[in-house]
A and B are shown apart, each in its own frame.
Chain A
């Protein structure tokens, strides 16, 4: 039995194929998906495919880039604000006060957390929040009013909580700084 040389054609062929186990497993999966797929796609085939593939594409190409860009923008803006404040830069350079050079950028979490929770609610319940579900009231006998109002109130409450945390943190830090000798002396 002749074994192929490293880098020989057999090896290259194999690299082109990949793991045989993987191939067998995935072919089984795709065959199964075919069995289910003919049932799933019965009816408005084109639209169902659009929904199925579109869900992934909209997420990967629209939703994710959008929230990433928003996050970056806020982070960068807060980073600049913090750098512009000389006291913060001083504290960062001494390295004694426990501040790190990225403290300004970390402030983004005080925006990120409440915004994340609020947008999560909007993402999941947007049909009710935006009032586009006309049949909710006649079907369930419940008011379709108030969803937008409650979402705005929850959002406000989340940001107020975040602001309170920020103020508390600032007060604690000021007290800690006052309590010990200045780093520059």
Chain B
């Protein structure tokens, strides 16, 4: 069962899968616009590791919902593949002698980066989306730098093992071996085995040091083992993906956080990242005494909710997409365009970025910075209503930001002040 063919096939799946996870992870960092303002950046000491950063676009509006939904959902679905891959190479961990050459010693060291890094990323990610902050430090830092450490080991490992994988592919054993129930079950057939598929396979991979020299009687074929991993992967996918869909399908996310149910019915009955109570926002701060301060070259303008409602109102159909991988369907937001507020602040045309501050007394992302392209997009709103009703307190009453394709936390709730040109 265990053998170089099983490992090679899983390795190929992970080569593609983990690369996609890494890339979507980097995209998520870019989506925060960390180079715009320090409040958006949890890893300001990134140095060269932010070389790829770019202005996060607002088109298509579902971009972050897609990339981050993919990152988390596919990440969860790849867990069985990672476990199977590690199972398939476990003999290496106990190989004797532990080190045969300098190159081998370095390789084993790099495997700590690879295996430690991969498991570290999966564990921190899985704990974070369940709000179980067990890990020692800020999730953003650990997950971002951990990913880069992992990726270094991953690239080296892929480069070193690629010749072996290519050999398995070229030999055609990947397919024939997988399709022959017997062949996989009799790995590395010894010199005393008779002719037959086992002997043929054994001959072409005489150096298969992953196969057991004395395998126990088979209980499953290699095809069966692939099926088991595949079913596990599919099972995790199907019981997680629902947290990115509203409606009855959300129930399919049986155990995934923000899956199964919505927090209530009605116009405001969609997913909440953090309730008002959990971050110390009190209803009393959001009553008639609330004023929005809009600041810019024109000075400070203070607006009540009634005055905001008297301005030109626009509707945007946009989702909320969280870094934790869950998202809502499009909600119908209604409010004032950010660029109209920028005009009020003294930028009648070509508005700059805006610094947004919330009433929220504590916690990360109680303020955030939006880039000029986000302010200029006509769909970016200071929303006052959603789905035909006033915003609920948990969704940011009296007013919240909603920007196409922006990560959830940059859609600041309970907005108190907008400073145009401050970023």
Contacts and interface: CB of A to CB of B under 8 A. Distances in A.
B232 interface: yes
A64 B87 contact: yes
A112 B153 CA distance: 33
B79 interface: yes
A25 B159 contact: yes
Contacts of A133: 130-132
B107 A26 contact: yes
A56 B90 CA distance: 11
A181 interface: no
Interface stretch (B55-63, B140-148, B198-206): B140-148
Interface string A158-184: 000000000000000000000000000
Interface in B202-261: 216-220, 224, 228, 231-232, 235-236, 239, 254-258, 260-261
A132 interface: yes
A128 B217 CA distance: 38
A117 B145 contact: no
A172 B338 CA distance: 68
B22 to A, nearest CB: 13
Contacts of A136: 130-131, 257
Contact of A150 (B87, B141, B254): B254
Nearest to A120: B232
Given A18-B104, A142-B263, A56 B228 contact: no
A22 B390 CA distance: 63
A73 interface: no
Contacts of B79: 120, 123-124
B160 to A, nearest CB: 6
B86 A64 contact: yes
Nearest to B136: A47
A133 B257 CA distance: 11
B17 interface: no
Contact of A56 (B80, B119, B231, B394): B119
A39 B130 contact: no
Q: Is the interface of A mostly helix, strand, loop or mixed?
A: helix
Interface in A128-165: 128-129, 132-133, 135-136, 138-143, 146-147, 150-151, 154
A108 interface: yes
A22 B106 contact: yes
B332 interface: no
B49, B79, B87 pick with most chain A CB within 10 angstroms: B87
A30 interface: yes
B102 A127 contact: no
A32 B47 CA distance: 12
B117 A52 contact: yes
Contact of A128 (B100, B106, B255, B277): B255
Given A109-B224, A120-B80, A138 B277 contact: yes
A43 B137 contact: yes
Contacts of B112: 53, 56
A16 B116 contact: no
Interface string A51-62: 111011001100
B110 interface: yes
A19 to B, nearest CB: 5
A108 B264 CA distance: 44
Nearest to A119: B232
Contacts of B306: none
Contacts of A55: 116, 119-120, 123
Contacts of B263: 140-142
A5 to B, nearest CB: 20
B37 interface: no
A55 B118 CA distance: 9
A29 B155 contact: yes
Contacts of B130: 125, 127-128, 133, 136
B309 interface: no
Given A40-B142, A105-B219, A139 B117 contact: no
Nearest to B127: A127
A142 B261 contact: yes
A136 B120 CA distance: 22
**Which 3 pairs show the lowest CB-CB distances between chains A and B?**
A18-B103, A18-B101, A55-B119
Given A40-B149, A143-B261, 15 more contacts: A18-B104, A23-B103, A30-B109, A39-B43, A47-B137, A48-B136, A51-B135, A52-B117, A59-B86, A124-B255, A127-B130, A128-B130, A141-B264, A142-B258, A150-B254
29 contacts: A18-B103, A25-B160, A26-B156, A29-B113, A33-B110, A33-B149, A37-B145, A39-B49, A40-B146, A40-B149, A44-B137, A51-B123, A52-B116, A55-B116, A55-B120, A56-B119, A64-B86, A105-B217, A105-B218, A117-B232, A124-B79, A124-B126, A124-B236, A127-B127, A135-B278, A136-B131, A138-B277, A150-B255, A151-B254
